[in-house]
Amino acid sequence: MSRNVAETARKFLLMGQCVPAVKQNAAKIRVKRLELDENLLMYFRKDEFYFCHDPEKKCKTGDIVLIQALPQKLTKLITHEVKEVVYPFGDVTDPVTGKKVAKERYREDIDRDVELYGKLKSTFDYKKAPSRGWQDNKKDFSSKPTYTKFHVFDENDPYAI
């Protein structure tokens, strides 16, 4: 019974986090699942990785995305497609209320305190801040392919780990 439920769940929408991948026009998504250990009667986390078709490069590393199974596999690895970016990385949103969060407080509460008590030197203005991705190829190299360096060559590749 649980096997059939797991197989049908893969055909519907899944939510996962985008992780670095080298494939062109594809994103690697980590979906967290809980698996029951029948001996201990406890659930343990199990990660499953899916390669998803993403030709527009909608998602970046760290984004929480919604994926859906394709009716036909594009390749042997690419079995799903990216439907939408639910939560961009670094822009934390409370899932219950839908309000933006900064540290442990809502941003609108911080704005209300600024109106009441005046602006402090350390208050960051989120309305004036640029969106994520404006430092691509300057200081943010998360859009570049990453790989593990197994050999030492003469030229040094800055994108290797």
CATH number at residue 46: 2.40.50.140
pTM of the model: 0.68
Per-residue confidence (pLDDT) for residue 81, from 0 to 100: 93
Lowest mean pLDDT, pick from 37-41, 66-70, 128-132, 147-151: 147-151
Find the mean pLDDT for residues 57-71.
90
- Do 86 and 101 fall within a single domain? no
Same-domain pairing of 85 and 32: yes
Residues 76, 112 share a domain: no
Backbone φ and ψ of 14, nearest 5°: -125, 150
Is the pLDDT confidence value at 14 over 80?
yes
* pLDDT for the residue 106: 92
Write the CA distances from 160 to 22, 122, 155, integer angstroms. 12, 36, 12
Q: In terms of residue numbers, what domain contains 120? A: 92-129
Mean pLDDT (whole number) for 131-159: 66
pLDDT (tens digit per residue) in 92-120:
888 899 898 888 899 899 888 888 888 77
pLDDT in tens, 28-43: 999 999 999 999 999 9
Same-domain pairing of 22 and 48: yes
